[in-house]
Structure 1
Amino acid sequence: MSDSMHSAQTLRNPATNPATTDTMQAYDNALYRKVAWRLLPFLMACYIAAFLDRVNVGFAKLQMLDQLKFSDTIYGLGAGIFFIGYFLFEVPSNVLMHRIGAKKTLARIMILWACISACMALTKTPTQFYILRFLLGAAEAGFYPGIILYLTYWFPSHRRGQVIAVFMTAVPFAGILGGPLSGWIMESLHDHHGFAGWQWMFLIEAIPSIVLGLAVLWYLDDRITDARWLDTAEKNRLAHNIAAEKTTKVDHVSLLTLFRDRRVIHMALICYCTVSSLSGLAFWIPSVIRSTGVVSLLDVGLLTAIPNACAVVSMILVCRHSDRTRERRWHMVIPFLVGGVGLTLSTLFSHNPTFAVAMLSVAAAGCMVCSPLFWSLPTAFLEGRSAAAGIAAINSFAGLAAFASPYAIGWIKDLTGSTDWGMYFLASFTVIGALLVLRVPATLVNR
């Protein structure tokens, strides 16, 4: 009998074939690496496409505002109104996904939002801008929390921090790839065949979402039992590890009871602070870099890749350490405060591109770590239908921050003529978030 078959049989029958802790750990580590390599690269590609279509309006702003005569307040409202549609449709989408499966839900979401994103190229008036952004949010609702929910089907909570962190490196990777790509498209294709560069950007960057949306239908498996790339022993072990956690989690309760749960409300407030800092960075980094005196759109795109690259390294290292030590709170508190310091200092060096990008890198490295670590908190006590609704409800509430922050920064910039006070506004949420995390009982989430 081969070593792998012996290990599998031992794990299926621990009473008759006792395995050492080291053997079980080694088997699990190899198994979860296999699952991660199967799921994460594809899910990351999907999220890169999603995030690119969500925030490429930040690059479009550098051309479309002058061409369409939009103010920064109009842009901020349009950038943020995306999350009103997101807020209204997120919980129903996630509950539906729990019933019908990830394949149908994610494919529908991706293809629909790609078509709407392409239609952004036809924007002429503020009203059209607002409507398309709202519809884009409604179409994408449920995608991110749906994937978070999907990962809970495969990975136990003590492995989920690093897994979600690796998945969420798709956000900075979207910046690394999307920044230079968006800048290049807008410069090289401007006025090509009568379309402005920002219009070409919306059209071209919608294509990957359509392709990946179709690929979801044949690549993903809804549940562990559906995975043809796993043998029976592997399926049993994965299912056993997930089932072992269910006795400590909230499962089938009414939605009203769930939304009244103080733990869920507390998590929603933390997520609000996390999203406030992230959304501000995502939508305004190109403008902040442009304000330092960088003229070329391609150069702006290349410089935005630097903070995102720093965030990738930070997310992987911090979340890996958090999983290894099974400690969540201080691994969030310190990055929150580091992110706030970076946002604040970026304003002090706003006339020096080198130092401004350096401080934005510090801000991105801190703020972006908080999001994957955050989702280790509520998924430590939510399960099943409660997880589906709870994750979506928390993320929906946080979506209000994603609406409010870009709008507030745009309004502040129109009022003061500078993004400095907008950065201070974002930094305040990192401090509030750190304080809220400290109030979470360690026994609830440190597993």
Structure 2
Amino acid sequence: MISDLEARVSRKLMLRIIPFVMLLYFVSFLDRVNVGFAAISMNKAIGLSPTAFGLGGGLFFIGYFLFEVPSNLILHKVGARKWIARVMVSWGIVSAASAFVVGPNSFYALRFILGVAEAGFFPGIILYLSLWFPGRQRAVAAAWFMAAAPISTAIGSPLSGAIMKLPPIAGFADWQMLYIIEAVPAIILGFVVLKYMTDTPSKAKWLQPDERDWLIAKLKMEADAKQSHAGHTAGALSALRDPRVLALALIYFGTSAGLYTLGLWAPLIIRQYGFGSFETGLLAGVPSILAVIAMILWARHSDRTEERTWHVVIPCVVACLGFVFAGGASSALMIILALVVVNIGISAAKAPLWAMPSMFLSGAGAAAGIAMINSVGNLGGFVGPFAIGWLKNVTGGYSAGLYVVGATLAVSAVVTLMLSRQSKQVPVAAGERHGH
């Protein structure tokens, strides 16, 4: 049974932390994938082929990959508040600067620099949540945070579509306005982070003393139980060499390939059926709303049952089948239904997956390991969109690329099962069970 004190602390954590980190991720994701809408007129204006667009779209993740682990280790040292603020202001500035690209090379450069600027945000927040939420709440906390990505698509797609209908203002074309307008919130929120965010529970003046003491004791008890466990990793270097970290990175690779294929290519895939910018935005947003609901319900079930493996495998298989269905789709209705299936699968897999690392990593090991999983995994965000663009150039259609992305999700499902077999559930649930 949950005590009255535990229920009170849980409620305060959910209300104080989750809506704010969701808002940050909402803006982050909007700035990351609005290039898919800008492409509607930008590609022609600056002379980008489908291959060049796919390459530029993916170069973001190369910058992200190179700077992710150093960025998260700095966050572990200086605290989330200062570092997340720095990340947000710098990526807002770079995102606005994307309005001034003039050809393929400047497009490539800005996408790469955007990745460098934003490196550390996502794993930084995942690490931050692990410092506040006990094991039993971790998948749900992560699910609410990550729900901001599909919500960003649901709200941001029609918004981006509407901005793309604006007439030129002060000499700026529609795609340039899109970059500038959507970059402003990131810069403003960077300064809000400095005021609002609290680094650790011991500094939380918004908790009563008894609430603060309970939370610190609970997290310490879980950490001690984890450290006494045979499979525990605390050092940064040992975390980077841990085969479980590499396996989780490979699993995340497939989900990232799927997610960013949707973010970058869904508007163009839908638009080929003759829809206008705003209609395309609405249709791209619909699957995301359903994905949010599935994501939260699935994470709750994973937390309640304390099972992670099948909660990752099943959604990966669903998303894989969705991509196969999309590859064979011959009508707008079929493509929308396929995108719904893909969205639900990819979104549902993420929270149980991100509840795994904190079960066997802590301290600098958690900072490095979580960043490693995210940076290597996010290379899927390079491979997926690039494969679609390259194969479209070669074959003239989207089917081959969609099948390739589907295959990466099949690999994710298989690796999850192999990891579970090898570790006999140690990194998945044992650490949690020690905690209560």
Q: TM-score range by the shorter chain?
A: over 0.9
Match of 2:310 in 1: 330
Structure 2 residue corresponding to 1:432, chosen from 390, 408, 411:
411
Whether the aligned pair in 2 keeps the contact of 1:190 and 1:198 (CA below 8 Å) is: no
Structure 1 residue corresponding to 2:190, chosen from 213, 222, 231:
213
Question: 1:271 Cα shift?
Answer: 1.5
Gaps of 5+ in 1: 1-21
Match of 1:343 in 2: 323
Structure whose alpha-carbon radius of gyration is higher: 1
Aligned mates of 1:347, 1:257 — CA distance in 2 = 41
Question: 1:251 Cα shift?
Answer: 5.0
CA 1:117–1:312 in 2, change beyond 3 Å: closer, same or farther?
Answer: same
1:323-352: CA deviations, max 9, x gaps?
111111111111111111111112222x32
CA 1:84–1:112 in 2, change beyond 3 Å: closer, same or farther?
Answer: same
Whether the aligned pair in 2 keeps the contact of 1:343 and 1:359 (CA below 8 Å) is: yes
Instruction: Spell out the pairing of 1:268-417 with structure 2 (5 A cutoff).
Output: 268-294=249-275, 296-349=276-329, 351-417=330-396
Question: 1:101 Cα shift?
Answer: 0.6
* Letter in structure 1 aligned against 2:176: Q
Match of 1:5 in 2: none
Instruction: Spell out the pairing of 1:197-236 with structure 2 (5 A cutoff).
Output: 197-236=174-213
Structure 2 residue corresponding to 1:126, chosen from 91, 104, 108:
104
Aligned mates of 1:264, 1:337 — CA distance in 2 = 21
Whether the aligned pair in 2 keeps the contact of 1:271 and 1:394 (CA below 8 Å) is: yes
Aligned alpha-carbon RMSD (Å): 1.3
Aligned mates of 1:197, 1:401 — CA distance in 2 = 29
Match of 2:118 in 1: 140
Aligned mates of 1:163, 1:281 — CA distance in 2 = 24
Structure 2 SS opposite 1:206: helix
Instruction: Report runs of 4+ in structure 1 exceeding 4 Å deviation.
Output: none
1:100-148: CA deviations, max 9, x gaps?
1111100000000001100110010111001111110000000000000
Match of 1:4 in 2: none
1:147-196: CA deviations, max 9, x gaps?
00000000122210011001111000110111011000011x23233221
Match of 1:44 in 2: 22
Aligned mates of 1:23, 1:119 — CA distance in 2 = 50
* Letter in structure 2 aligned against 1:167: F
TM-score (norm: length of structure 2): 0.94
Structure 1 residue corresponding to 2:83, chosen from 105, 110, 130:
105
Structure 1 SS opposite 2:388: helix
Structure 2 residue corresponding to 1:82, chosen from 36, 43, 60:
60
TM-score (norm: length of structure 1): 0.92
Structure 1 residue corresponding to 2:171, chosen from 176, 190, 194:
194
Question: Matched residue pairs, number?
Answer: 421
* Letter in structure 1 aligned against 2:307: E
Structure 2 SS opposite 1:205: helix
Structure 2 residue corresponding to 1:445, chosen from 419, 424, 428:
428
Structure 1 residue corresponding to 2:155, chosen from 177, 184, 193:
177
Aligned mates of 1:257, 1:167 — CA distance in 2 = 28
Match of 1:153 in 2: 131
Match of 2:74 in 1: 96
Aligned mates of 1:316, 1:396 — CA distance in 2 = 24
Question: 1:293 Cα shift?
Answer: 2.7
Question: 1:23 Cα shift?
Answer: 5.2
